[in-house]
Structure 1
Amino acid sequence: MRLPESEYDSNPTSPDFHPQASSSSLSPSPKANGHVANGYGNAINGSSKPPRSPVARVELPGAAIYDDSYIDREEYIRLVIQSLRDIGYIESAATLEAESGYVMETSRVAEFRRCILEGTWNEAEHALERLGVAEDDGLWEARFLISQQKYLEYLEAGKTALALHVLRNELAPLHTDPEQLHPLSSLIMCTDVADLRQKAGWDGAHFSSRRRLLVNLQSYIPSSLMIPPRRFVTLLDQARLHQISQCIYHNAPLTSRHFSLYADHTCDTDLFPRITTTILQVHSDEVWSLEWSHNGKFLATASKDKSVIIWSVGVYHPFAVGCLAWSLDDTILLSSSEQYIKMWNTESGICIRTIEAHTETVSALAWVPDGSGFISGSQDRKINLWGSDGKQRDSWGITAIRITDLAVTPDFTRLVAVGESAKDPTLPTPRGDSNTASTASRNGNNNPTPSAPRTPEHLMILSVSLGGQLTSVKISSDSQYALVNHAPDEIHLWDLFTGRLARKYTGQRQGRHIIRSCFGGVDGNFVVSGSEDGNVYVWHRDRAILLDVLTGHGSGSVNSVAWNPMNSQMFASCSDDFTIRLWEPLGGGADGESSSRLAHRMADDREHESEASGKGKGKSREPWVGEASCEHE
């Protein structure tokens, strides 16, 4: 919007403006009340007047910023003015307004903004009407938001009578659904300010609530009148996200070191983990499973040779070891062997407890996200919930599938279990309410099917039945996706929010063996899987493009892969060739700790610990191999 010519003569010259100075030498005006962001400060909201001549208005031909561009000059200049004000270049913004003839916002918008931020609510409603917001544009909804803020501020100030007046005479007439008013009316009973803020999800009049109100009111005012906050930055963020989506090898954290406005973003493929930097050769038989500790410093592996090795602590079972799970603080490692579950102290290698509650092979172990316990699943069709002390707390009873794997979403709302249909005509009728755990079974259709085994109250149930054999499941860090290995020769990505198949990944070989895949990379951008052909396969998660087939393992299946949770450029794989391989970029990773550095540090740590204990022989013979072990009784 153009600045009227008449305003030039009426605007006082800023005392800080020097016409001969360059833009970078202009001194910004003092911040109003400490606020400049988004044009919210009093001194920068249309009240900071452009300087009088010698700044002359520049008239340019056309409406676009370039002859071959579709970008409107007025919109562009107004966004630049907003950005300059946001970051504190107040005089530069005023100069640009004078030179271009465009203003960021009219005096009416500035007045409305001031009324909201200063809490002059009657004036705010009048200012809203002067902006031309009509009933069709949501005038009543906007008034409701203003009255709600007024109501909460009266309660905060202890003015209960005034708050009650607002509730009865302003909020109630504006809202047709009494059920929506009930939570607000119940706030009158709050005993103190902290209780009020907690129940209302509101931080008070003198914090950020008025600014959030202004953002919420923005949706009712045309953006051409009132520009959304930080609009230029939003556009740049959108451009960055688009560039990331086009970079199929993207594996860099969101820092200024990895992103520049001067050039389009692309990740160097040499920084992708595709080179074997370490081979761990201690197991004497097929290695079936592996898991990183949460701190990324230790790797646990389980083998057909009846051993679990925490590099560097070894523990032993009487049978081949199937699955592993670290506690959240990495002090306890769970392992399963046949129908037994063992809890190990990872520092001493001592078996804390042996649990025998299943009647068939325990096929899945998972700690719950709050660390209060863990869940076990078995081929006996049972899912049990255990406390962190190893005592059983609950059970789902008999499920409809012989469980091969399970996982709990990080937000602790869903349990996802996969397996084969029990095909038992004597299956008991499921017990409990309509809540169910997310399960995928082998019933031969792709439609969500109801299943209601008894569950703890905090877990939802959503049952999905699939054809084929399902061998493993992993959950994305945002709790939205489940990655399911689906024999033969497919990996499925399921959207847990919609209950629909989102992607398929193909190329690997899986027919007879249990293969465990994982998400990987800085944002879970990749899907990684072993294969019965002895290779490791890597896909781009969202585009389902096969990026690499990594060779190096010997004959037999690559059974499991695991990405280091603290190093986005390192993952591990284990194989029937008795080995574990660590994969990193050529020359080592750009972030985190390389395997060689980690190996030597771990060895030095163990030597230091042994010397401190008086033994003096703690350094391992090989850097990644520990000496401590404990026999199964």
Structure 2
Amino acid sequence: MGGVEDDEPASKRMKLSSEELRRLSNGSTIKEPVAGSSRDLMARPLQSEGGEEVVGSKGVIKKVEFVRIIAKALYSLGYIKSGAHLEEESGIPLHSSVVNVFMRQILEGNWDDSVVTLHNIGLTDERTVKSASFLILEQKFFELLDEEKVMDALNTLRTEIAPLGVNDSRVRELSSYIVSPSYCSPTRSPKQGTVRARSRSKLLEELQKLLPATVMIPEGRLEHLVEQALVLQRDACMFHNSLDKEMSLYSDHQCGRDQIPSQALQVRLCSANQIFFWSFIFLFEYLLDGKFLIVCSHEVFSTILPVYTSLESLFKRLLGSENESGKNNLKLSKKIAYHLYEIQCDFLARMLVSLFEAGECPLISSFIGSHRFDPRIIKISCKLLLSYFKQKSMSFFLQQILQAHTDEVWFLQFSHNGKYLASSSNDQSAIIWEVYETGVSLKHKLSGHQKPLSSVSWSPDDRQLLTCGAEEVVRRWDVSSGECLHVYEKTGLGMVSCGWSPDGKWIFSGLNDKSICMWELDGKELECWKGQRTLKISDLEITRDGKQIISICRETAILLLDREAKVERFIEEDQPITSFSLSRDSRFLLINLLNQEIHLWNIEGDPKLVSKYRGHKRTRFIIRSCFGGLEQAFIASGSEDSLNIAYKFLRWVYIWHRGTGELIETLPGHSGAVNCVSWNPANPHMLASASDDRTIRIWGLNNLSTKRKEPCSNGIHYCNGGY
């Protein structure tokens, strides 16, 4: 509670307008008649304090309370006349007459009278009365000091404040102001009256918080209730994953599935070395030799088409020969999709557009392309085609499949700022990808390891990257240049995991002798925790306060090691643990088990099992899961299960709602086991998956369904679409 020099902005104070202050200071209540009111026709008798009249369909809102809260909100918003009119018309005063007197006394600085009135308000809790009296007399003390009435201030402190027996430490602090020359210096500013009014207004606001709401309605009560309702609606929304903070008061909030990354990344304008025209297509993929394309429809009708390298021959095959009327016989059907390979020429793009204009491609309703190039590069043909499709409101997709690793991709992780993605592979390399709004591109391929890479770890500032070879060494890389800055190793031992301290000053590594070591950046070993500290599993996490090291110490147990307090805690599972992931706030741990379950643990204090997630398959390999989405409201995981379509086995990415545990999305596409997933922490609509098929897939939203819909007649507001 500051003195009169306190000049905190009025926006954070109790919002009392000059009109309201004038009425209180003149002895008027807020219930004065307002010019132009219909008092004679519409005013009703005062409702009693205990009136049970209710409003609303549920019968739980008391009308008296409802009207008072609305009136309070009107005054707070500066609508003084409207607030007074509401009191008059409803016959329901905002405050009782004694409370109005009390408020006026506070604003006018009648401290002794206000303390007397406080006792007459009818408070039953003596502690509340004393605490409120303390605040009032404290303000009196400060104003006496400001007026250089030091002895009067000292007398107030000794005879009025101290006997209350409230907040002794604050009393001692007030006594120090008596002898403080800096505080006792007079404030001769011409704005002194304004500062004092603000200080008294703040006192009234503090008293509002202290006194029962039935006596003085808290400031911002209506806003609090509305915000609470919006937050509850948001939390109850299964698919809420929107960066858009706009939530309408006109209708209930509800998001659709389109807020979950479920399409291979789509962009508006992007280079494409492969473009697909399709209709009623369910799935399409290359055979492993890359020479043929498998295409199938919803009816599970499939065909295998050769992949052509000649644009001219492919175009002729697509169009066929001209008929007698001179029109092309298009070899298109609802059951077959055609793969147009490397469309990069303006000539072919213009021919296709002319076919659409002539109405000769009635069955082609969508466009999809895959690319492996830098998404910032824009080709003329793609610009032309995409512009045309957008103009005609035709569907178009563009997906990115990253193929730079030459063997299975085991691990991947977005940087903290979401600007980079790092991946590691059985091919003994790691790759740093640069992330753009429209996709990702290869920045550096990191070579030097002699064994497969089991994991990567970003520095807190995302300027450096650790890579860990399976039972080999840990390397530290500069992200900007791709240069290896240091190699961490121990003679006769191999590293199995790596991680950073939150300040970026040290690194941690798990070794194959089951110990964990801490190193300075220059390679000096600082500490080593020996014994059963870790297994040969490449998971190691350090909490964001830097105090706890988390590792798998036994087949069915996770160690939470407090390195400062030297205290160990354990999470015991009934099944073997294969991997784990730490939440961004370091409060929760996601544990993957051998029995094809994912367990969510709260690790604050004694570890507690919170949720279980089921549905994915794990039979032979280490499958990793992650937190993700807005406020990490979702759980994503790789899987080994497959769907056999047209002799092609397709693997899935699974997504659950974190709070309910409900499986809300499965993403098919990979042709090998999906080993790892990572959700972009800066973009809740971007998800990456790594697979044994040697590819990384970037998943995003379906642009076709993210257009905002108007609120429905049933009062449900869809955020960026929904169904």
TM-score between both structures, scaled by the size of structure 1: 0.70
Q: Which amino acid aligns with 2:551?
A: V
Matched, 1:269 2:257: yes
Partner secondary structure for residue 234 of structure 1: helix
Which deviates further from its counterpart, 108-117 or 461-470?
108-117
Q: Which has the higher strand share?
A: 2
Assess if the C-alpha contact under 8 Å between 2:407 and 2:426 holds in 1. Answer: yes
Which deviates further from its counterpart, 361-370 or 41-50?
41-50
Partner secondary structure for residue 104 of structure 1: coil
CA drift of 1:308 comes to 0.3
Q: 1:68 to 1:576 in 2, by over 3 A?
A: closer
Residues 279-428 of structure 1: matches in 2 within 5 Å? 279-311=401-433, 312-316=443-447, 317-337=449-469, 338-357=471-490, 360-387=493-520, 391-398=524-531, 400-402=533-535, 404=537, 405-410=539-544, 412=545, 414-415=547-548, 417-421=550-554
Assess if the C-alpha contact under 8 Å between 1:418 and 1:471 holds in 2. Answer: no
Corresponding residue of 1:22: none
Of residues 593, 598, 602, the one that matches 1:486 is 593
Matched, 1:44 2:175: no
Deviation sequence 1:255-301 (CA, Å, 0-9, x none): 22xx1111111113223211123211111111111111223222110
Q: 1:73 to 1:297 in 2, by over 3 A?
A: same
Corresponding residue of 1:509: 617
CA distance in 1 between partners of 2:704 and 2:495 (Å): 37
Partner secondary structure for residue 519 of structure 1: strand
Q: 1:68 to 1:538 in 2, by over 3 A?
A: closer
Which deviates further from its counterpart, 368-377 or 286-295?
368-377
Which has the larger Rg? 2
Deviation sequence 1:600-626 (CA, Å, 0-9, x none): xxxxxxxxxxxxxxxxxxxxxxxxxxx
Q: 1:182 to 1:75 in 2, by over 3 A?
A: closer
Assess if the C-alpha contact under 8 Å between 1:133 and 1:220 holds in 2. Answer: no
Partner secondary structure for residue 99 of structure 1: helix
Assess if the C-alpha contact under 8 Å between 2:581 and 2:589 holds in 1. Answer: yes
Q: 1:496 to 1:92 in 2, by over 3 A?
A: same
Residues 477-626 of structure 1: matches in 2 within 5 Å? 477-498=584-605, 499-533=607-641, 534-556=651-673, 558-587=674-703
Q: Which amino acid aligns with 2:38?
A: V
Assess if the C-alpha contact under 8 Å between 2:137 and 2:161 holds in 1. Answer: yes
Q: 1:282 to 1:248 in 2, by over 3 A?
A: same
Q: 1:251 to 1:113 in 2, by over 3 A?
A: farther
Q: Which amino acid aligns with 2:624?
A: R
Q: 1:422 to 1:293 in 2, by over 3 A?
A: closer
CA drift of 1:393 comes to 4.3
Q: Which amino acid aligns with 2:93?
A: V
Of residues 233, 236, 242, the one that matches 1:243 is 233
Assess if the C-alpha contact under 8 Å between 1:172 and 1:181 holds in 2. Answer: no
Which deviates further from its counterpart, 565-574 or 463-472?
463-472
CA drift of 1:469 comes to 2.4
Q: Percent identity?
A: 34
Assess if the C-alpha contact under 8 Å between 2:532 and 2:553 holds in 1. Answer: no
Q: Which amino acid aligns with 2:452?
A: A
RMSD over aligned CA atoms reads 4.2
Q: Which amino acid aligns with 1:409?
A: T
Deviation sequence 1:496-527 (CA, Å, 0-9, x none): 23521111111122354322211111121101
Deviation sequence 1:177-227 (CA, Å, 0-9, x none): 98x779969988999999xxxxxxxxxx98999878766654542212211
Corresponding residue of 1:469: 576
Matched, 1:74 2:96: no
Assess if the C-alpha contact under 8 Å between 1:358 and 1:378 holds in 2. Answer: no
Which deviates further from its counterpart, 218-227 or 319-328?
218-227
Deviation sequence 1:7-26 (CA, Å, 0-9, x none): xxxxxxxxxxxxxxxxxxxx
Gaps of 5+ in 1: 1-32, 195-204, 424-438, 442-450, 592-633
Q: 1:149 to 1:545 in 2, by over 3 A?
A: farther
Corresponding residue of 2:340: none
Partner secondary structure for residue 688 of structure 2: strand
Gaps of 5+ in 2: 1-8, 25-29, 184-194, 266-399, 434-442, 642-650, 708-723
Q: Which amino acid aligns with 1:530?
A: G
Partner secondary structure for residue 265 of structure 1: strand
Deviation sequence 1:347-385 (CA, Å, 0-9, x none): 111100111148655343333333444433344333333
CA distance in 2 between partners of 1:187 and 1:382 (Å): 56
Partner secondary structure for residue 34 of structure 2: coil
CA distance in 2 between partners of 1:280 and 1:190 (Å): 72
CA distance in 2 between partners of 1:183 and 1:399 (Å): 54
CA distance in 1 between partners of 2:110 and 2:653 (Å): 64
Partner secondary structure for residue 55 of structure 2: coil
CA distance in 1 between partners of 2:157 and 2:491 (Å): 58
Deviation sequence 1:546-603 (CA, Å, 0-9, x none): 11122111133x1111111221101101011111111111128969xxxxxxxxxxxx
Q: Which amino acid aligns with 1:103?
A: P
CA distance in 2 between partners of 1:350 and 1:529 (Å): 32
Assess if the C-alpha contact under 8 Å between 2:131 and 2:166 holds in 1. Answer: no
Deviation sequence 1:449-481 (CA, Å, 0-9, x none): xx8x67236x98644333322333333334432
Corresponding residue of 2:720: none
Which deviates further from its counterpart, 330-339 or 164-173?
164-173
CA drift of 1:68 comes to 6.8
CA distance in 2 between partners of 1:183 and 1:509 (Å): 66
Q: Which amino acid aligns with 1:550?
A: L
Q: Which amino acid aligns with 2:406?
A: S
CA drift of 1:321 comes to 0.7
CA distance in 2 between partners of 1:187 and 1:531 (Å): 67
Which deviates further from its counterpart, 347-356 or 384-393?
384-393
Which deviates further from its counterpart, 136-145 or 342-351?
136-145
Q: Which amino acid aligns with 1:543?
A: T
Assess if the C-alpha contact under 8 Å between 2:515 and 2:533 holds in 1. Answer: no
Corresponding residue of 2:129: 139
CA distance in 2 between partners of 1:192 and 1:384 (Å): 56
CA distance in 1 between partners of 2:20 and 2:87 (Å): 12
CA distance in 1 between partners of 2:636 and 2:100 (Å): 53
CA distance in 1 between partners of 2:147 and 2:458 (Å): 49
Q: 1:89 to 1:212 in 2, by over 3 A?
A: closer
Corresponding residue of 1:455: 563
Which deviates further from its counterpart, 116-125 or 104-113?
116-125
CA distance in 1 between partners of 2:454 and 2:178 (Å): 55
CA distance in 1 between partners of 2:175 and 2:593 (Å): 51
Matched, 1:55 2:162: no
CA distance in 2 between partners of 1:136 and 1:239 (Å): 34
Q: 1:66 to 1:512 in 2, by over 3 A?
A: closer
Q: Which amino acid aligns with 2:618?
A: Q
Partner secondary structure for residue 565 of structure 1: coil
CA distance in 1 between partners of 2:107 and 2:505 (Å): 44
Q: Which amino acid aligns with 2:541?
A: A
Q: 1:359 to 1:171 in 2, by over 3 A?
A: farther
